[in-house]
Amino acid sequence: MQQIWERIAKLQATGQPAVLATIIATRGSTPRNVGTKMLVLSDGNIVGTLGGGCAEAEVWQAAMQVIKTKVPERLHLELIDDGTGLTTMICGGTMDVFVEPIAASVSRQSREASGDGG
């Protein structure tokens, strides 16, 4: 997670927009735990992972929209096989992800509050 905070600091120094996606709730089997973060840059690149697959792609799409609108979004993802063979979300659980634009000044207090300690 240190890599994410370092990248955020660099983005803030240059004023480049980005979005932070954080798993805020899980139920059942999921690829990552509550608190896991993924940074989505304005060019579409990512730092970190929420577990890959279709769920991460859905978060990425939402993040690209949040970069444009600057309006945070909460996603509810069901990681279940729908029986069609068209999905790879087979963990069986659900996860909620908060997707938020990175403000110009994410402070040390924010990092400490997230449990990363800075």
Domain ranges of the chain: 2-113
pTM, entire model = 0.79
| pLDDT for position 118 | 46
Mean pLDDT of 50-75: 94
Backbone phi, psi, residue 108, to 5°: -60, -35
Cα distances (Å, whole numbers) of residue 12 to 44, 72, 73, 117: 17, 18, 21, 19
Cβ within 8 Å of residue 83, ≥6 positions away: none
The separation between CA 57 and the C-alpha centre of its own chain, rounded to angstroms, equals 10
10 Å CB burial of residue 48 (0-12, 13-18, 19+) is: middle
pLDDT above 90 (res 18): yes
Identify the band that residue 39 occupies on the pLDDT scale cut at 50, 70 and 90.
very high
